[in-house]
Amino acid sequence: MTHPSMQPLYDAYEPIASLLSILEVLHWDQEVMMPNGAASQRAEQLAALQATIQEKMNHPSLEEKLVLAESSEAELSHIEKADLRELRRSLERSKKLPPSLVKELAKQEVLAVHEWADARKKEDFSLFSPSLERFIDLKQQYADALRSEKMSRYDALLQDYEPGESEDSISALFGPLQQHVVELLQKIQAAPLKTSTKLLQGTFPAKEQERFLRSILPSFGFSFEEGRLDTSTHPFCAGSGADVRITTRYDEGEISDALFGVIHETGHALYEQGIQRDRIFSPAGTSASLGLHESQSRLWENMVGRSLPFWKHFYPKLQESFPSFQEIPLQGFWHAVNHVEPSFIRTQADEVTYNLHIIMRFDLERALIAGDLKVKDLPQAWNERFQQDFGLLPPNDRLGVLQDIHWASGLFGYFPTYALGNLYAAQWFERIEKELPQIHELIEKGELLPLREWLKSNIHCHGRVFLARDLCQRVTEKELSVQPFVRYLFDKYAQLYQFSS
């Protein structure tokens, strides 16, 4: 039974959430379908829709309804309370941001992405730096508008992606994570067994890759009745509820990009398809955080998709689709898809060194936002840090500081969510091994639905009713920590590279 004070609030919020979900459709369309020439027309459409959403959020009648519901908070269910909390959070954010700044940021994003793309192509950071400087200035204003006294600017930016986290709370995890990863990397590099990704190269027609992926996705519980798989320059997942769309790109000379990319995006998609369906247009009917979202994609991609049991079932099917694999034993394939080696590009990194990419970006972007690092010094800072952490010097900025679109899109505070995702994923997986002790046998038989059901009923269905850390405590009965992930990595790679963990 919905509390009578909540119904008017739900009625008022539902159209706002519907309009927000239209943004997702437009975003997908823009990346996958929109004609090239329509970019500025689309920008106008998006600006109009976003402004309309903000108007609706800022309309006094919404806050009146919210205040009324808050006054009977004691009588509300925990879900209704969560809806109040989330709506209050959005409202405060929306009220504090000057509309002129919102507009300026939207404009700057279009400009900066364009200049970043150009700079990246020409491998010339100086073409991007004025735009990046301006963006950091705007993001500092943005943070100042939003932050409370005890928050740093970076803390304020984090709230957009990982509500409740702070520089300190994340540093407390990333410090030990860095140490353990470096230690593991040394063990791997010293191990007697050498691996390589060479045997993942060959000839893999895009059509055949797509056919294979479409054939295995239903095993994960991905429903084509409520979703799509398409091609785009950068893979992503968009949408919610009954309309969740994932994209990939096909490299016809290399199979792992699309293979693990699609499994990754499927993890995101299952989360969105799994949020309690009749709540997706409620304030807390969304994902708990980006880190939580990423925990789903990484769990499926790495803990399931790169595991030996998974391939015991699926490798014969892959061999059927791509006969060149018939000469390669399962063990060799498993080694190849888990090959660890420091490399320049984050999105192509293995699951060990990936964390170093993130921690480095976390440190650099904090320094940029704090004003401790100037944009003009960024390429050098990047290269020095990269040399230090990876033992490699990027030969150019395309393979270095210009590789990611995030800063050009104004996404400061976003990177850490990727590594938080790893931590959450491992903590879920330890719990799953406890509650579903036969999980590895199930995966070995290709039976992935019990895992999907566990994730749905323990994590997905709640949406943002619980914040990420609270959900972690609730589900795993433990605080979030680096230990499960470190244990997972050491166990897996000790077995793979044949050293003692």
CB of 205 to a copy of itself, least distance (A): 16
β-partners of residue 239 are 244
Number of chain positions touching a copy of itself (CB under 8 A): 39
Nearer to a copy of itself, 226 or 254 (CB): 226
Q: Does 241 bind a copy of itself (CB under 8 A)?
A: yes
Nearer to a copy of itself, 226 or 453 (CB): 226
Binding track, positions 2-21, relative to a copy of itself; x by CB under 8 A:
------------xxx-xx-x
Binding track, positions 125-164, relative to a copy of itself; x by CB under 8 A:
----------------------------------------
E strand or H helix that includes residue 245: strand 243-248
CB of 55 to a copy of itself, least distance (A): 9
CA separation for the pair 423, 292 (Å, rounded): 10
How would you class 154 by CB atoms within 10 Å of its CB: exposed for 0-12, middle for 13-18, buried for 19 or more? buried
If DSSP states are collapsed to H, E and C, what string results for 127-165?
Answer: HCHHHHHHHHHHHHHHHHHHCCCCCCHHHHHHCCCCCCC
CB of 116 to a copy of itself, least distance (A): 23
CA separation for the pair 256, 123 (Å, rounded): 27
Nearer to a copy of itself, 14 or 430 (CB): 14
Q: Which residues 6+ apart lie within 8 Å of 26 measured at CB?
A: 42, 45, 46, 49
| Chosen residue from 2, 4, 11, 33 binding a copy of itself by CB under 8 A | 33
CB of 37 to a copy of itself, least distance (A): 4
Question: Parallel, antiparallel, or unpaired for β 243-248 and 237-240?
Answer: antiparallel
CA-to-CA separations, 238 to 43, 187, 244, 397, in angstroms, rounded = 18, 39, 6, 30
Site for a copy of itself in 262-321 (CB under 8 A): 280-281
Query: Which residues does the annotation mark as catalytic?
Result: 265
Using CB under 8 A, which of the segments 188-196, 221-229, 365-373, 396-404 binds a copy of itself? 221-229
Instruction: Please report how many Cα atoms fall inside a 13 Å half-sphere around the Cα of residue 42, on the Cβ side.
Output: 17
Secondary structure letter of residue 464 according to DSSP: T
Nearer to a copy of itself, 136 or 269 (CB): 269
| Chosen residue from 126, 224, 253, 438 binding a copy of itself by CB under 8 A | 224
CB of 40 to a copy of itself, least distance (A): 7
Nearer to a copy of itself, 64 or 144 (CB): 64
CA separation for the pair 288, 161 (Å, rounded): 9
Q: Does 243 bind a copy of itself (CB under 8 A)?
A: yes
Helix (H, G, I), strand (E, B) or coil at 326: helix
Q: Does 61 bind a copy of itself (CB under 8 A)?
A: no
Residue entry with tokens 């499994």: 263
| Chosen residue from 7, 52, 347, 498 binding a copy of itself by CB under 8 A | 52
Nearer to a copy of itself, 26 or 399 (CB): 26
Cβ neighbour number for residue 211 with a 10 Å cutoff: 11
CA separation for the pair 129, 53 (Å, rounded): 32
Nearer to a copy of itself, 52 or 438 (CB): 52
Instruction: Give the interface with a copy of itself as residue ranges (CB under 8 A).
Output: 14-16, 18-19, 21-22, 25-26, 29, 33-38, 40-42, 44-45, 47-49, 51-52, 56, 223-228, 241-243, 245, 280-281
